[in-house]
Structure 1
Amino acid sequence: MITAEVSQSIESSVLCWLATIAPDGSPNVSPKEVFMHDGNGRIIVAHIASPQTVRNIESNPLVCLSFIDVFTQKGHKVRGIAKILRESHDRYPEQKANLAQLVGDTFPIPAVIEVEPTAIEEIIAPSYRMFPHTTTSQMVQQALATYKVTEYQNQGQDNPNVD
């Protein structure tokens, strides 16, 4: 189900958003910084500081994961069944090691959220549909201006918003 295109989309995204369902039925959306395709059809996410997400998955494993390249304004939405892998789970060491390839030991990873996709859809900015001649290059240029990338590059250490 995870094609090369979807896998590349995951790799080019800096953050993803994991939506879960709380026991009272309310939605919960949480940003995730450490995630990847495990090469075996699942998306894995590091549980770094997500106690509510973990509790929600333990109560209801249905999730939705979205990731978008902010420059091309394209990405994917993945619906699936999530599982929490803790140290006692046989896949935990391998999946934790996979995630550690991304961040080393920067963050403790007490558990891994493993998502088995049930449906995957492309996400694209409305401009692509509303203005059919819109190119990816145009969208990237627009995003670079919107996010003031050149300003951040030029100011570097002098920019109080850049650590």
Structure 2
Amino acid sequence: MRDITADMEAIVERAILSFVATVNADGTPNLSPKASLTVVQGVLYFADIASPATVTNLKRNPAVDINVVDIFERRGYRFKGRAQVLAPGDAAYSMIADRVRTMNGPEYPVDHVVRIETTSITPLLSPAHVFADPPRSQDEIRRTYYRKYGVKPESGGA
């Protein structure tokens, strides 16, 4: 299993929304947005709140690809790995389900929790990082995209 660094964990927490790709029975891709992706003790997990196709796919073929990008920093990570679907009664299931319900409310269904064994982690960088000449600082990029999206940081932001 590949190590999840503090920076990777911070991007997962800040980005909030991630995208999980699995493989349908007919070989076509299934892409599902997730707002429950989290890192606990260096391991990626997400909750099955409304993802029956994702879980069905993972039970048949545990290959998974997850993309997480901080839209303001224009960078993130791609996590590839093997998924394990956890059911109620599993300690990790309870930990993640409790977390989801604490954040979103007790009415949120958590049918399963998915644990990811990461086999590959690669950085995702937008052209804003790659092609700028001269290179722009992370603060410049963040300010540019706050303006582009019409967002004002709450406090302490650039």
Tell me the TM-score normalised to structure 2 length.
Answer: 0.86
Amino acid at match of 2:82: I
Any unmatched runs of 5+ in structure 2? Answer: none
Range that drifts further, 91-100 or 7-16: 91-100
Q: Percent of aligned pairs with the same residue?
A: 28
How many residues are paired up?
Answer: 150
What CA distance in whole angstroms lies between the structure 1 residues aligned with 2:10 and 2:107? 24
Any unmatched runs of 5+ in structure 1? Answer: 154-163
> What is the CA-CA distance between 1:53 and the residue it aligns to?
0.7
Change in 2 beyond 3 A, CA 1:145/1:66? same
Amino acid at match of 1:67: V
Instruction: Please give the root-mean-square deviation of Cα atoms over the aligned residues, in Å.
Output: 1.9
Asked if residue 68 in structure 1 is aligned to residue 66 in structure 2, the reply is no
The aligned residue for residue 97 of structure 1 is: 98
Asked if residue 47 in structure 1 is aligned to residue 48 in structure 2, the reply is yes
> What is the CA-CA distance between 1:102 and the residue it aligns to?
3.6
What SS is found at the alignment partner of 2:108? coil
Change in 2 beyond 3 A, CA 1:91/1:140? closer
> What is the CA-CA distance between 1:103 and the residue it aligns to?
3.1
> What is the CA-CA distance between 1:131 and the residue it aligns to?
1.3
Conservation of the 8 A alpha-carbon contact between 1:38 and 1:98: no
Change in 2 beyond 3 A, CA 1:22/1:131? same
Tell me the TM-score normalised to structure 1 length.
Answer: 0.83
> What is the CA-CA distance between 1:60 and the residue it aligns to?
0.7
What SS is found at the alignment partner of 1:12? helix
